[in-house]
Amino acid sequence: MSSYAITGASKGIGREFVRQLAADSTNTVLAIVRNPKSADISDLASKHSNVHIIKGDVTDPKSILEAAAAAAAITDGKLDVLIHNSNAVDKDSMASTPSQLPFDAQAIQNIFSPSLNTAIYGGIWATNAFLPLIEKGAQKKIVHISSGMADVDLINKAGVSSGVAYSIAKAGLNVTVAKYAAELAPRGIKVLALSPGWVDTWDGEKPAEVVYANELLLKMFQLVEPELKGQIQPEESVKKCLQVIENLNAGSSGSFVSHNGDRSRWF
């Protein structure tokens, strides 16, 4: 019997974490979402009595503290695993390279804020809010969802110069994880930065520009992994991520790995 809290649980990878964890009726699954009335997550919760939807926005300190308090009321003040999955990007600038970024302070803030707010600031607030629960849990694990796009070797080998703000934010997240691991090790708490792979989280038919962007990325990624055919589905990604989380221990705490459990296979 284990308890899990997942931020950004209303769609994509977060929702799939909830679905797979809820399949074990002995688990208590806390879906932390900005909009509890979201059809996707509320429908899933209606099928599983062990899923509890909690309103919480990681970019709002008061909101995520209230979410942690609500979670504590459900789990008797304990939590085994926190999965910080929340993510946001400025889609208009995702194709831009560093030299194409504007000489405009406000524009730069608009480009970087969504990723920094969710990955770094939100990651710190979510971790700190749920830390008292994690300390009382049995597994004592905190997982931050990162990205292979924050791996310097992958960037250099594949020549991926776009996705600047997203990649920088995830790299900062990785450092944050290492800092937490160093601080919390004496308390038996394990912390991990985990890339879910290159995952297709798009709902419905993809716009032409998204298809084109994915085709360009595929060619770049094939420079690193020639046999790569394309994106994987959330189901496959989360299944592998949960295996990595299960194997997380004091020796691997503070590291940055892929859904395959290493740093050599990001896809």
Question: Tokens 């931050």 sit at which residue?
Answer: 144
Residue 151 has pLDDT above 90, yes or no: yes
Which position among 115, 146, 167, 170 bears the catalytic label? 170
Per-residue pLDDT tens over the stretch 40-87: 899 999 999 999 999 999 999 999 999 999 999 999 999 999 999 999
**Token pair recorded at residue 188:** 């038996």
Residue 210 has pLDDT above 90, yes or no: no
Mean pLDDT of 209-214: 89
Spell out the residues 6+ positions from residue 60 whose beta carbon is closer than 8 angstroms to its own.
none
Residue 89 has pLDDT above 90, yes or no: yes
Full set of structural domains in the chain with CATH? 3-258 (3.40.50.720)
Residue 199 has pLDDT above 90, yes or no: yes
Q: State residue 129's pLDDT score.
A: 98
| Calpha distance 89→148 (Å, rounded) | 16
Which position among 10, 146, 147, 195 bears the catalytic label? 147
Q: What is the DSSP letter of 223?
A: T
Residue 205 has pLDDT above 90, yes or no: no
Q: First-to-last CA distance in the chain?
A: 31
Q: State residue 241's pLDDT score.
A: 98
- 170 catalytic, yes or no? yes
**Token pair recorded at residue 227:** 């046999």
Per-residue pLDDT tens over the stretch 217-227: 999 999 999 99
Beta strands in 94-246 (DSSP E): 141-145, 190-195
Residue 135 has pLDDT above 90, yes or no: yes
Per-residue pLDDT tens over the stretch 8-49: 999 999 999 999 999 999 999 999 999 999 998 999 999 999
**Token pair recorded at residue 100:** 């194409």
C-alpha triplet 210, 44, 133: angle, nearest 5°: 100
Q: State residue 203's pLDDT score.
A: 84
**Token pair recorded at residue 256:** 């940055």
- 166 catalytic, yes or no? yes
Burial of 208 (0-12, 13-18, 19+ CB in 10 A): exposed
Spell out the residues 6+ positions from residue 77 whose beta carbon is closer than 8 angstroms to its own.
132, 133, 136
> Cα torsion for 197, 11, 68, 72, to the nearest 10°?
-100
Q: If pLDDT is split at 50, 70 and 90, which confidence band does 209 have?
A: confident
Which position among 93, 140, 166, 255 bears the catalytic label? 166
- 264 catalytic, yes or no? no
